Amino acid sequence: MNVWEIIGFTLVKIVIILHVMLLTVSYLVYFERRISAWVQNRLGPNRVGWEGVLQPFADVLKLLLKEDIVPYQANKKIHTLAPIIALFVAFTTYAVIPIGPAIELFGYTIPLVVADVNMGILYVLALTSLGVYAITFAGWSSGSKYSLLGGIRSSAQMISYEISMGFSIGGVILLAESLRPLAIVDSQGQWFWNAWIQPIGFITFVVSAFAETNRLPFDLPEAEPELVGGFHTEYSSMKFAGFFLAEYANMIIASGLIVTLYLGGYYIPFINIGTFGLPNWAEVLIYVGAFSFKIVALLFFFIWVRWSLPRFRYDQLMNLGWKVMFPLSLVNIIWVAVLIMLFNL
């Protein structure tokens, strides 16, 4: 393929990913409300459309019609920039996550990843570290003590958990000998999942993902009983919706990373689709379906945990991050290194 064909296919993939992400985020909010209603033995949204399936569109329309209120003492430029940063980070991180093997289409071999870069994992870590600026800027620029406390909490929380998250990925990189997400997926194959080989790293990464996405039991930057609404107390209309969309988009990103790094990516355990003699498009469809199934299962787990566990206190959160998660991530790297030395993995 020449340069213009590569650019064209990349733009098409970006448009598809954006539309799928926006639609998924919209209905993820709906499913969270229905699952929380199921957990709490109540009905949930069921009025707008059949069983409430049009509720996401009603919510968007409501937020569009709301007045955009900016506090008088707020820094208006930073106040507007914060949700933009949150959305930018959420929707650009997915660029390096592969959803399936390459598909043969119109005589071209098209990889099902927007950007197949060798330093993909570093790209993800760099972008996710920028997410803290959105919340910190939102808290500082609002001119509210509640918002400021939420922003400060977020910065302290994310710093502590990004360290353990980065070290937990170290074991994956040692086994795959690459920072390229496709190489990491291929190194696991049908059954050699990193979750089985390094369960400590897997658990550490999952817990860190909860903290990164500000989900219960680690939603201290919001903490309604203490901070009213936390960092987004002074936001309304579509700016508030921006933070809301970014949170759920980050859930999808976190689930995609967990699947890619620890759950074999798009491979199906103990089944080699290539032995069935299927056409390329059918194989790719099965692989994409397997990847999507794993994502949906993890998203349900995210929602289930939120409505099952109470919120941690701030001191408990910091103790868990620095005194438990960080040492465990170091133990995981040593464990993987020993396995490589003993069994030449």
How buried is 259 (Cβ within 10 angstroms: 0-12 exposed, 13-18 middle, 19+ buried)? buried
Note the pLDDT of residue 261.
Answer: 92
pLDDT in tens, 271-301: 888 777 788 888 889 999 999 999 999 999 9
Q: Is the pLDDT of residue 151 over 90?
A: no
Distances (CA, A) of 115 to 98, 180, 333: 9, 10, 28
- On whether residue 179 sits in a domain, the answer given is yes
242-244-250 Cα angle (round to 5): 100
Note the pLDDT of residue 345.
Answer: 67
- On whether residue 314 sits in a domain, the answer given is yes
Q: What is the mean pLDDT of residues 190-219?
A: 87
Q: Is the pLDDT of residue 16 over 70?
A: yes
Contact 96, 115 (CB under 8 A): yes
- On whether residue 8 sits in a domain, the answer given is no
Query: pLDDT averaged over the chain?
Result: 86
Distances (CA, A) of 148 to 139, 195, 226: 4, 38, 13
- On whether residue 143 sits in a domain, the answer given is yes
Q: What is the mean pLDDT of residues 24-31?
A: 88
- Mean pLDDT lowest among 201-205, 249-253, 301-305, 309-313: 309-313
- On whether residue 17 sits in a domain, the answer given is no
- On whether residue 280 sits in a domain, the answer given is yes
Note the pLDDT of residue 46.
Answer: 86
- On whether residue 46 sits in a domain, the answer given is no
Q: Return the H-helix or E-strand segment holding 135.
A: helix 120-141
Domain that holds residue 176: 71-343
pLDDT in tens, 116-128: 888 888 888 888 8
- On whether residue 146 sits in a domain, the answer given is yes
Contact 218, 85 (CB under 8 A): no
Distances (CA, A) of 151 to 104, 138, 145, 281: 47, 7, 10, 47
How many folded domains does the chain comprise? 1
Q: Is the pLDDT of residue 265 over 90?
A: no
Note the pLDDT of residue 328.
Answer: 92
Note the pLDDT of residue 200.
Answer: 92
